[in-house]
């Protein structure tokens, strides 16, 4: 789907993102942060297929050694827009994930969900066949 463009925006409209092309499956993570936010993530690399727009504030998630990522949220309405990796990949690119809950439901309802155990094992969990529609409510 090279011509697909997903758009997400916070509640007040001052911050958002675009993701061009196939978003792939969407990740539901159960780590201590994601379970509190209720976010569903689509991944790519910063300033490649994902572009974040507007002003955001950040929260740097403490890591076991060094902080690994920062959460970007709208300073006006508080919606979680994305997370951004603080470490560069071996090829110099930076991972980023956008919160698909900021999209119109009909644009993401049929995207498959991958479950990630960020709380205990840090492993992908077996697919259960659910899609975004199943986790929206």
Write down the mean pLDDT value for the chain. Answer: 92
Instruction: Decide which of 136 and 50 is more confident.
Output: 50
C-alpha dist (Å) from residue 20 to 24, 41, 43, 50, 113:
11, 15, 11, 7, 19
pLDDT digits (tens, 9 = 90+) for 24-34: 999 999 988 99
Domains assigned to the chain: 5-23+37-111 (2.170.150.70)
Alpha-carbon distance of 9 to 50, in angstroms, equals: 13
Q: Is the dihedral of CA 71, 95, 98, 20 positive or negative?
A: positive
Least-confidence region, from 17-26, 28-37, 41-50, 65-74: 65-74
Q: What is the pLDDT of residue 1?
A: 46
Alpha-carbon distance of 39 to 117, in angstroms, equals: 14
Q: What is the pLDDT of residue 102?
A: 98
pLDDT digits (tens, 9 = 90+) for 56-105: 999 998 866 667 899 999 999 999 999 999 999 999 999 999 999 999 99
């Amino acid at each position: 789907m090279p011509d697909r463009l997903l758009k997400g925006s916070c509640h007040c409209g001052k911050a958002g993102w675009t993701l061009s092309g196939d978003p792939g499956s969407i990740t539901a993570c159960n780590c201590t942060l994601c379970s509190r936010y209720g976010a569903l993530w689509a991944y790519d690399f910063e300033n490649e297929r994902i572009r974040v727009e507007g002003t955001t504030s950040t929260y740097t998630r403490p890591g076991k050694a060094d902080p690994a990522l920062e959460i970007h949220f709208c300073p006006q309405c508080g919606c979680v827009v994305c997370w951004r990796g603080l470490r560069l990949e071996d090829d110099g690119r930076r991972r980023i994930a956008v919160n698909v809950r900021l999209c119109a439901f009909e644009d993401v309802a049929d995207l498959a969900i991958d479950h990630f155990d960020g709380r205990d094992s840090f492993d992908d969990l077996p697919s259960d066949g659910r899609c975004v529609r199943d986790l929206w409510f």
